[in-house]
Amino acid sequence: MRWLRRNIIGIIAILVLVYLFVPIAVVAVLSFNQPEGKYNTSWNEFSVAAWQNICGVPGVCSSFALSIQIGLIATAVATIFGTMIAFALVRYRFRGRDTTNLLIFLPMATPEVVLGSSLLALFLNLTFPLGFWTVTIAHIMFIISFVVVAVKARLQGMDPRLEEASRDLYASPRATFRHVTFPLVLPGILGAALLGFALSFDDFIITFFNAGTLVTFPVYIWGAAQRGIPVQVYALATLVFFVALVLVVSVQLVNARRRRRLEASVAAQ
Amino acid sequence: MPAIVPTTSASTDAPVTSHRRRSRTAYLLLIPGLGWLGIFFVIPIVTLFFTSLQAPVEGRSGVYQAAFQISNYGEAISEYWPQFVRSFTYSSIATILALIIAYPLAYFIAFKAGRWRALMLVLVVAPFFASFLLRTYAWRTILSDEGFITSSLNALHLLPDDRILNTSIAVILGLTYNFLPFMILPLYASLEKIDPRLIEAANDLYARPFTGFRKVVWPLSLPGVVAGTLLTFIPASGDFINAKLLGSPGDSMVGTAIQVNFLQFRDYPIASALSFILMAIILVVVFIYIRRAGTEDLV
């Protein structure tokens, strides 16, 4: 009983983590299912058919590739624009700072239906054809704010003495930026890019409004939900999940090791 | 973090000319991103407002012309007020549930996780790597009528309709689940800043654990509570995915109405009016909430 009382928070914490993963486990398990009818929602029989023929259903892999393509373009543009804004906000004094902050905050405080539908209203009034570019434009728009917040946090958390030291050692502003500032901020920028890609790749609501007849991976799933989602979609989603998880965990491990080695060398001196 | 303290002293005492040049660099850095937001966020919102006032062109369905038809708003509200009520009820309940579920985990990561902290944070965001739609759809399996949860609750006669799936309970559970990481992360961020010695001090002064929590930890974590509840409430009230995949047609939300009017009925003025009302309500709620909570520096 005393043990329970002392560890109660830990137990709840682990239960909540488990809760977060229950639906993902269901998706992974159902990717090995041979569904009885057209709906893959209850367990029937073990099968690896979907994994062996992951592109077997028309539309699955093409929509998947399309989502990756849009994700890469949108992330690249939004990361560059967002990083520039973050630098301006942290490193420069200028008039209009409050307006800038508000303009960054508002898209995040606006529900996706409003972002998606307002952009559609614009494209409709301009009779701009919906498709690849309207979706990409929309993704860039809603990712920028997240990039700004992530990179800004990294810039503010940086030790200013490192740059001062560089200047004291007569490094030109450009050299300081290239050899000190940029390498230090890079992990933050990469993290922001990863977040941006995840947001773009998985976005449904904003995409749905501006896609026209374009079918991204989430749009495909939405359409398929009515008539039964193919098992291949479960397999692809499981694959994406594990690849991303392994990627992020190994980046974490490498960072932790680098930090330990750095601390050890500082301690040795 | 309202005022961004310049990390260098260069800008404060630099001569005027260099100062002017520096702020010109700042504007050059800002132009592409803010320009994009101006064209594809601000202008669309303005367009949305004008579209919401348009009137149909006689004899041509789905075609509208510029007008000043404020009655669109009355029509939107009188036809869809139940959806508004439902959206804000569902999202409020989901936000409160998410806060209750997220707090212990955020607390544990901030104070007790030790060397597991980084890994646990990765696990909190990891659900984002799995498709949102598919995760939501997976709840159909978990909550199905023959499933373990529904049948055990039914054995205890706890369910009003003898089922969870296709009821508002399922929609609320889905909303709670989907936005949970948005609650956990800001909570963690503000809990992590609390000096653990403050909690020790409360213990040393013979505060009971709950009193210590109520008087020390909770007030200091309020910025995280405000940010987390907003980041859950805002997307939840605009959502139509959970209502569609987990609820019955009677559980439709404002998001559903906006989507159906825009993309199926092509009644753009009504759809725009609905969208504009939703945005206005949320902005008002956000600003009142932030003001009352006394933390205006969320960004």
State pLDDT tens for residues B186-203: 999 999 999 988 888 888
Q: Is residue B299 part of a domain?
A: no
Which of A84-93, A145-154, B17-26, B134-143 shows the lowest per-residue confidence on average (mean pLDDT)? B17-26
| Residue found under tokens 């200028």 | A94
Domain, as residue range, for B222: 75-293
Q: How far apart are the first and last CA of chain A?
A: 49
Structure token pair of residue A8: 């109660």
Structure token pair of residue A264: 């050890």
Structure token pair of residue A154: 């990294």
CA B162 to chain centre: 31
Q: Is residue B277 part of a domain?
A: yes
Q: How many residues does chain B have?
A: 299
| Chain B CB contacts of A105 below 8 Å | 298-299
- Spell out the domains of chain A, with CATH numbers in brackets: 58-227 (1.10.3720.10)
Q: Is residue B16 part of a domain?
A: no
Residue A67: the pLDDT is 97
Mean pLDDT of chain A: 92
The minimum CA-CA distance between B24 and chain A, rounded to whole Å, is 8
Q: Is residue B257 part of a domain?
A: yes
CA–CA dist B274, B163 (Å, integer): 32
CA–CA dist B129, B234 (Å, integer): 21
CA dihedral B223, B228, B229, B230 (to 10 degrees): 90
Structure token pair of residue A132: 């690849």
- Kindly state the average pLDDT of the residues A172-199: 89
- Kindly state the average pLDDT of the residues B98-105: 96
Q: Do A221 and B131 lie within an 8 Å CB cutoff?
A: yes
Q: Which of A24, A89, A120 sits opposite B262 (nearest CB)?
A: A120
At residue B299, does pLDDT exceed 80?
A: no
Q: Is residue B179 part of a domain?
A: yes
> Which chain B residue's Cα is nearest to A212?
B263
- Kindly state the average pLDDT of the residues B81-86: 97
| Residue found under tokens 């309709």 | B161
Structure token pair of residue B169: 């309970």
* Residues sharing a CB contact under 8 Å with residue A189, sequence separation 6 or more, in sequence order: A79, A83, A151, A154
Q: Do A27 and B34 lie within an 8 Å CB cutoff?
A: no
Q: How many CB atoms lie within 10 A of CB B75?
A: 16
Q: Is residue B189 part of a domain?
A: yes
Counting the structural domains of chain B, the total is: 1
Structure token pair of residue B126: 């990891």
A80 touches chain B (CB under 8 A): yes
C-beta of residue B116 within 8 angstroms of C-beta of residue B108: no
CA–CA dist A45, B170 (Å, integer): 27
- Kindly state the average pLDDT of the residues B110-131: 90
Q: Given pLDDT bands bounded at 50, 70 and 90, which one contains residue B147?
A: confident
Q: Is residue B55 part of a domain?
A: no
Q: Which of A101, A140, A222 sits opposite B299 (nearest CB)?
A: A101
C-beta of residue A42 within 8 angstroms of C-beta of residue A36: yes
Q: What are B55's strand-pairing partners?
A: B65
**Taking the model in full, what pTM does it have?**
0.90
Q: Do B120 and A17 lie within an 8 Å CB cutoff?
A: yes
- Interface mutation target, options B132, B275, B298, chain A, most CBs of A under 10 Å: B275
CATH number of the CATH domain containing B91: 1.10.3720.10
Q: How many residues does chain A have?
A: 269
| Chain B CB contacts of A249 below 8 Å | 119, 122
Task: Give the B window 64-93 contacts with A, CB below 8 Å.
Answer: none
Residue B8: the pLDDT is 40
CA–CA dist B294, B226 (Å, integer): 10
HSE, CB side, 13 Å, CA atoms: give it for residue A76: 6
B19 touches chain A (CB under 8 A): yes
Q: Give which of B102, B123, B224 is closest to A16, Cα–Cα.
A: B102
Q: Given pLDDT bands bounded at 50, 70 and 90, which one contains residue B116?
A: confident
Q: Do A225 and B137 lie within an 8 Å CB cutoff?
A: yes
B139 touches chain A (CB under 8 A): yes
Complex-level ipTM: 0.91
Q: Is residue B67 part of a domain?
A: no
Which of B30-34, B61-65, B132-136 shows the lowest per-residue confidence on average (mean pLDDT)? B61-65
